[in-house]
A and B are shown apart, each in its own frame.
Chain A
């Protein structure tokens, strides 16, 4: 059974960098064939795609966040990570990681439980 688990600080100060890690179990990131993605959901709102990464390190980002986002992969730890710089209160949200089983940046079959990140001084 594939499982994903987000981890990282729940509170980030404005202008700082939000850093989250997604640990994958039950599957190997380096096996290839999948895209590994980050999403967020503002309180009471819909979902927003942030970006995804292939095991090779190829990344694709949402243009609305591209200037502030970096996603990286550490295959040795079976983890991938999100960094979002220059955060403001508008970045307060629940952040999810997920797996795209198609390798084409399509839909997502396994999701982490999500982690709430609050941006506040």
Chain B
């Protein structure tokens, strides 16, 4: 199965700064078949990005994704207070579906 490694494990930034989160696959899979989710404490994941770079409905344009693999990036251009959360990447290019371990974005 595809193993996704997210880095860094924790990212400490201030509102207004730019965040760059990485997701690396241990092997190739169908290109661009990667999604990103945001999860706040006690809440369900929220779909942000699919197809590596397409924003889901209602997602602000400060969120952007890039690929193709095996290295994918989620960028938040200017952090808002509500952006501090855990971010997960998920691949759907190779069965079974797998997720990274998450990156925690915390307020510095």
Contacts and interface: CB of A to CB of B under 8 A. Distances in A.
Contacts of A109: 47, 56-57
Contacts of B105: none
A106 B46 CA distance: 15
Main secondary structure of the interface of A (DSSP, over half): loop
Interface stretch (A11-19, A75-83, A84-92, A110-118): A110-118
Contacts of A47: 37, 45, 88, 90, 99
Contacts of B57: 109
Main secondary structure of the interface of B (DSSP, over half): loop
Contacts of A48: 99
Contacts of A49: 96-99
A2 to B, nearest CB: 11
B35 A107 contact: yes
Nearest to B102: A46
Interface residues of B, number: 23
Contacts of B37: 47
A46 B92 contact: no
Interface residues of A, number: 21
6 contacts: A46-B102, A48-B99, A60-B95, A64-B96, A105-B97, A109-B57
Interface of A: 45-49, 60, 62-64, 96, 98, 104-109, 111-114
